Structure 1
Amino acid sequence: MTDLITAARTFLEGLFAEAVAVADPMRVVAAHLPARPEGRLVIIGAGKASARMAEAVEAHYGPCDGLVITRYGYERPTQGIEIAQASHPVPDTAGVTATRKMIDLVTGLTPDDFVIALISGGGSALLCAPSDGLTLDDKMEVNRALLASGAPIDEMNIVRKHLSLIKGGQLAAACHPAQQLTLLISDVPGDDPCQIASGPTVGEESTAQDALAILDQRGISLPSHIRNSIAEASSVVPPNDPRLSHADTRIIAAPSHSIAAAAKLAKTAGYDVRNLGDAIEGEARDLGAQQAALALSLQAELKPSDKPILLLSGGECTVTRRGDGIGGPNAEFVLSAAIVLNRQQSIHVLACDTDGVDGAAEIAGAYAGPETLSLALQVDRDPVAALSENDAHSFFASVRGQIVTGPTLTNVNDFRAILILPLS
């Protein structure tokens, strides 16, 4: 049994590694770069993959001028592009300083200049320039409240845009009248460019009233000066703004690409692959329970001679904080699934964030198999209590179920896989 469990976990971790590898900027950036412009070329960007994207740009062009902002620990060696590091998911003063430096860098460009923006998930927190009259502390207060509320990423980004001087197309407006190309690595369900890193180079259709409505619906109470700033000082750029007329946008890596790569690998190995979708959203514990129930029903129909079934899905789970534990949406998904599976033989679950960070922890995600709850009993860990306290990471640390990759230098959202073997 131990050998079978080890083989199943190794197989699932290999699928996750493939999903990450196909989104590596060094594999996808160069094909989308034009011939080097004759005029001035400026490289800007932000996100967990932006430093790796900058490295790929210079591998193609050679040394370039520019500035990108990435998460602490995600820097890469570059020849000319400056790599600034800042905090994620809660912004810090380093992010504010670097963002204002980026705005200064692109101010005053001409029609003969060319800007390439390298944008990936995480850029929303890293590109931080509060609206006039607001402070970093104000933005941090809003971010904490949104994270704690369980708001999905699209709602969080709408609010962030209307508190910013750079999001919602405002970075592209600052680059005008230069020619612009934005290369995007998507980490949002549906791959909507205006949602990736809060769309700094993409026109924004939401209004200040939309942002205020989200805060009200989530029960988030904020000081009056923050609400007034949204209502009266928002400067997002609508899609038809003439300052965006020379801005081109391309998605170069996305969750669907990574799911497809993992599916191809599994099909080649002889598995019956079921793709549940790459844009699934919802509460992590609910999705984990739902997919575990589906796995049980499918296993009940399997004959010993049938191919094993692999359920794949992507998207972004959310967690509504109920306790004070250490957890993340992927680990919470796996823990919830393990509770529903209740030691069922021959079903194995893995869920990880492709950026290597599940929630705010430096842990990609977790694995659970038939042995997981038995191991928990041996070390006196209660899985139901851990779930109620949002303590999934601590739980999986105690049963050797954590998946730790370190920085992957890309970000195409969550990767989930459930392996269903026929019962012998």
Structure 2
Amino acid sequence: MTSCDPLRNPAEFLTALFEEAVRAADPRAVLAEYLPPKPKGRVIVVGAGKAAASMAVAVEDAWSGPIAGLVVTRYDHGLPTRGIEVIEASHPVPDAAGTEAAKRILSLVQGLGPDDLVLCLISGGGSALLALPAPGVALADKKAVTSALLKSGAAIDEMNCVRKHLSAIKGGRLAAAAFPAKVLTLAISDVPGDDPAVIASGPTIADPTTLADARAVLARYGIEPPASIKAALEDPANETPKPGDPRLAKAEMRLISRPLDSLKAAAAFAQKHGLTPIVLGDALEGEARDVGRTLAGIARSVVEHGLPVAAPAVILSGGETTVTVRGKGRGGRNAECLLALGIQLQGLPGVHALCADTDGIDGIESNAGGLWHPDSAAKAKEIGLDLGARLADNDAFAVFEKLGQLVVTGPTRTNVNDFRAILVQHGLVQHGAD
């Protein structure tokens, strides 16, 4: 038996399973096959996202000769490169470094000819990192709206709809600025459904949403925008390029990694270790605590009824949950999902779980996520932790920190969003019995 035997060492197994999922999304392993032959004309490499630096390294490893360009990634996510400059900026709330990087990227792609190529490297996080406000919009106001949306429980596509219409570079505007050069975007998806227009707010993709849609999102969540934001969302000049715009005719996109790819890799790893995997999907959305409770119900069904699969099994899912912040604790959507799941399990024997973000950072904390075990609730009680109260205060991080059950990886420099795995070691019945 290996050290990550799921029956003897569930924590090590779940951690190894998560590492396998992350490895499947590493651009240094998958990007090269999606590159075209290096063109004869000029090549400008630009990009943004949590995987931007590792994608830039992959391009330099695959293409010989000098390559110039600029990518922007999150603080502490950089890597050494030869010719492509890497700038670090703030995420999830934008800052001046992101604004400066976006200005330079927009400048780099202008003035190119029809034989030139813009290679655009896009991954999750690019919306905040490419922070170039539309004319008349103050960065401070855009930061305020971003913060409000993050706390509101808005889905990622709703957030990005607003961001596109407050930007001078997102929502297809980067590709429009590069015309008549060819634009090839290589992207790592971190969004449910893998919609190219939503990944990093689609800087090279035509935008089907409208200014009216953006205004409706803010109204839906009761967010009263600052004056500059309100004016921008009412100005027709800030409408994004739409499908069929001739400036986007030479823009192409290739997805190099998706959440489902990581779930499939994890499922294959589980099978090698004698488990039956069930993949619930790569696009589970909703409030993190509600998703956690639902997953707990599925795990209980495996234990008590052998359905939808018999134990030993692992239940896998991905997607992006949301957290409506009402408390004052330290959280993260994966930690909150896991805590709700654990409370619902009520110490069910033989059930262990991991919830973590594949980028290595759950929200704004230092962990990727956490682990839950059948004795976690009892341990929490011994040290005086009221799990229900902590959940109500959005303080899930503190629970797993005090239990010593955080999953800490540091930046992975990729991002296919949330990864959730529930290990059911044994059940009360065999498959088909009741």
TM bin, normalised by shorter chain, reads over 0.9
Q: Deviations over 1:268-314 (max 9, x none)?
A: 222111111000100000010111012112201249xx541211000
Do 2:73 and 2:88's aligned partners in 1 also have CA atoms closer than 8 Å? Answer: yes
Q: Residues 47 and 70 of structure 1 are in contact (CA less than 8 Å); yes or no, is this contact kept in structure 2?
A: yes
1:170-228 per-residue CA deviation (whole Å, 9 max, x = no partner) reads 00011111111000000000000000000000000111000001111111111233112
The aligned residue for residue 83 of structure 1 is 86
Give, in whole Å, the separation in 2 of the partners of 1:159 and 1:196. Answer: 14
Q: Where does residue 76 of structure 2 map in the other structure?
A: 73
Aligned identity (percent) is 51
Which residue of structure 1 lines up, in the alignment, with residue 385 of structure 2? 381
Contact kept, 8 Å, 1:302 with 1:422, in 2: the verdict is no
Map of 2:286 onto structure 1: 282
Quote the residue 1:390 is aligned against: 394
The number of residue pairs the alignment matches comes to 421
> Residue 150 of structure 1: which of 153, 165, 171 is its match?
153
CA distance in 1, matches of 2:92, 2:215: 21
Q: CA deviation at 1:235?
A: 3.7
Letter aligned with residue 168 of structure 2: L
How far apart, in 1, do the equivalents of 2:311 and 2:374 lie?
19
Q: Is the 8 A contact 2:210 2:239 kept in 1?
A: no
Q: Shift in Å at residue 423 of structure 1?
A: 4.5
Taking the aligned partners of 1:142 and 1:6, their CA distance within structure 2 comes to 48
Match of 1:318 in 2: 322
Change (3 A) 1:4 1:153: closer
**Cα distance in 2, alignment partners of residues 357 and 231 from structure 1:** 35
| Aligned residue among 337, 346, 360 for 2:341 | 337
Structure 1 CA distance, aligned partners of 2:344 and 2:7?
18
1:348 maps to 2:341: no
Residues of 1 paired with 2:104 and 2:68: CA distance?
A: 13
Is the CA contact 1:345–1:423 (under 8 Å) kept in the aligned structure 2?
Answer: no
Which of these residues, 106, 118, 124, is aligned with residue 103 of structure 1? 106
Alignment partner of 1:39 is 2:41: yes
* 8 Å CA contact 1:66, 1:80 repeated in 2: yes
1:180 alignment counterpart: 183
**Structure 1 regions of 5+ residues with no counterpart?**
none
TM-score (norm 2): 0.95
Instruction: Supply the distance in 1 between the matched residues of 2:156 and 2:219 (Cα, whole angstroms).
Output: 16
User: Would you say 1:136 and 2:139 are equivalent positions?
Assistant: yes
Amino acid at match of 1:27: A
Judged with a 3 Å threshold, the aligned counterparts in structure 2 of structure 1 residues 5 and 320 are, in CA distance, closer, same or farther, namely farther
* Alpha-carbon distance in structure 2 between the residues aligned to 1:106 and 1:53: 19
The alignment yields a C-alpha RMSD, in angstroms, of 1.5
1:272 matches 2:272: no
- The answer (yes or no) to whether the contact 2:361–2:369 under 8 Å persists in 1 is yes
Distance (Å, rounded) in 2 between the aligned partners of 1:187 and 1:359 = 14
Counterpart in 2 of 1:9? 11
**SS at 1:282's partner residue?**
strand
* Residue 113 (str. 1) matches residue 116 (str. 2): yes
Are the equivalent residues in 1 in contact too, given 2:303–2:311 (CA < 8 A)?
no
Deviation beyond 3 Å, 4+ runs, structure 1? 3-6
The DSSP-based 3-state class of the residue aligned with 1:76 is coil
Q: Which residue is equivalent to 1:221?
A: 224
1:300 maps onto 2:304 in alignment = yes
Q: What amino acid does structure 2 have at the position aligned with 1:200? A: P
SS in 2 for 1:231: coil
| Matched-pair contact (CA < 8 Å) for 2:124–2:200 | yes
Task: Flag structure 2 segments of 5+ consecutive residues without an equivalent.
Answer: 429-434
